[in-house]
Amino acid sequence: MNYDHLANQDPEVFKVVLEEEKRQNEEMELIASENYVSPAVREAMATVLTNKYSEGYPGKRYYGGNQFIDDVENIARERAKKLFSAEHVNVQPLSGSPANAAVYFAFLEPGDKVLGLKLDHGGHLSHGHPVNFSGMLYNFIQYEVDIKSGRIDMDEVANIARREKPKMIVAGYSAYSREIEWEKFKEIADEVGAYTFADIAHTAGLIAARLLNNPVPIFDVVSTTTHKTLRGPRGAIIMCKKEYASQIDKAVFPGMQGGPHDHITAAKAVAFGEALTQDFKNYAAQIIKNARTLAEELMNLGYKIISDGTDNHLMVVDLTNKGISGREAEEILDKIGISASRSTIPGDPRPPFNPSGIRLGTPAITTRGMKEDEIKKIAVWIDTAINNKDNPQKLSQLKEEVKEMCKAFPIP
């Protein structure tokens, strides 16, 4: 991208941008929620559409001059509908947590009972954690994964739902590597009279490519961020059945937000257009192949992967048997130029700031074009770094090797 104006006008900020660009180019991204957008998505984000105010929706705005903004929002809506077979889509949510807040706002009253997966079992803060607005405003009952299998035990979910009679059941997670039984969730919800809400922020790209089951035709309401496997700009969307369209739209605006970010809406439209292509489907399939290879290679090296593998783009590695914490592993990997995120393991005895595991994901390295051969090398680097955590010389040698591979697979 051309940064001429930024470089001339504000060298202080420009320097930081260049430093981050260099870091991204020379280092490897294994954070499961990150990705690299295409140049077209970046260009859309840098357009004059950022200058506009457009409270309201296409055809019904509270400001003049929105004829072209209406067009771009309609394109984004239609593409998202097609991508997920959705009856209605709101493309205005600013990010994942505000989208989830709008969903709760649309369907619940403060104090209502909701079922959500516990954070340390792979859930998200906005699925009822006590320090988050969701846990403060609503009466969340938390379900867990089965500690032994690392998988959601649907019989246990059904038992809790029958006992607690929640008004809503939340499924879709941040650190869960297995396919989700959407139909079974819907059956349970129907039995107890609960709404079904899926948060597919992590797996949206894989669902759009039809490589994982799609909850959109099954659930009442589904949210997703647009910047993870979906590879769009930072932001979110909410999809729902037609009958809930008006309450969702009202919850987003005027309920939760003011003016939408129209430049981001344009970038969402571009990303949805990309996700509709065969190239994207191939990309999504490679993400899964890469994640499976990484999990297998790490297991061969003696690592415990929660649920013994993955169906999607991520895995949680339990480091207990390696004698280091997730935070230490994150710091060691940082030293060799690999970014990853510490993660709790189900039932973690350690605190979230220094938990027992690390979460790894393949969306970003797959965008760079890395495939199984590269993944095998990455698994060995991770293991070698952990085994040589107190050997600075070895760590710098690994950093050089990581950098060499990154140079061979430039960011688009």
Q: Which is nearer to ligand DSN, 364 or 398 (CB)?
A: 364
Among 96, 116, 166, 260, contact with ligand DSN (rule: CB under 6 A): 96
At its nearest, how many Å lie between ligand DSN and the CB of residue 33? 3
User: Taking CB under 6 A as the criterion, which residues in 49-88 touch ligand DSN?
Assistant: none
Among 174, 214, 307, 312, contact with ligand DSN (rule: CB under 6 A): 174
Size of the site for ligand DSN (CB under 6 A): 4
Catalytic residue, from 53, 146, 334, 401: name it.
53
Respond yes or no: is residue 234 known to be catalytic: yes
What is the CB-side half-sphere exposure of residue 298 using CA atoms within 13 A?
Answer: 33
81 phi and psi angles, rounded to 5 deg: -60, -45
Catalytic residue, from 178, 228, 231, 322: name it.
228
Contacts for 87 with CB less than 8 Å, ≥ 6 apart: 81, 239, 240, 241, 242, 245
Distances from the Cα of 13 to the Cα of 3, 46, 47, 134, 240, angstroms: 11, 16, 19, 35, 40
**Long-range contacts, stretch 321-325, CB < 8 angstroms, 24+ apart:** 322/386, 324/386, 324/389, 325/350, 325/354, 325/355, 325/356
Residue with smallest beta-carbon separation from ligand DSN: 33
Catalytic residue, from 26, 34, 55, 164: name it.
55
At its nearest, how many Å lie between ligand DSN and the CB of residue 79? 23
| Position 134 contacts ligand DSN (CB under 6 A) | no
Per-residue tokens: 4: 């001429």
In whole angstroms, give the CA distance from residue 384 to residue 355: 21
What is the CB-side half-sphere exposure of residue 8 using CA atoms within 13 A?
Answer: 3
Residue 269, judged by CB atoms within 10 A of its CB (0-12, 13-18, 19+), counts as: buried
Q: Which is nearer to ligand DSN, 327 or 389 (CB)?
A: 327
At its nearest, how many Å lie between ligand DSN and the CB of residue 126? 8
3-state secondary structure at position 55: coil
Respond yes or no: is residue 383 known to be catalytic: no
Among 33, 35, 203, 366, contact with ligand DSN (rule: CB under 6 A): 33
Respond yes or no: is residue 228 known to be catalytic: yes
Catalytically active residues are: 53, 55, 199, 225, 228, 234
The residues of the shown chain that bind ligand DSN, judged by CB under 6 A, are: 33, 96, 124, 174
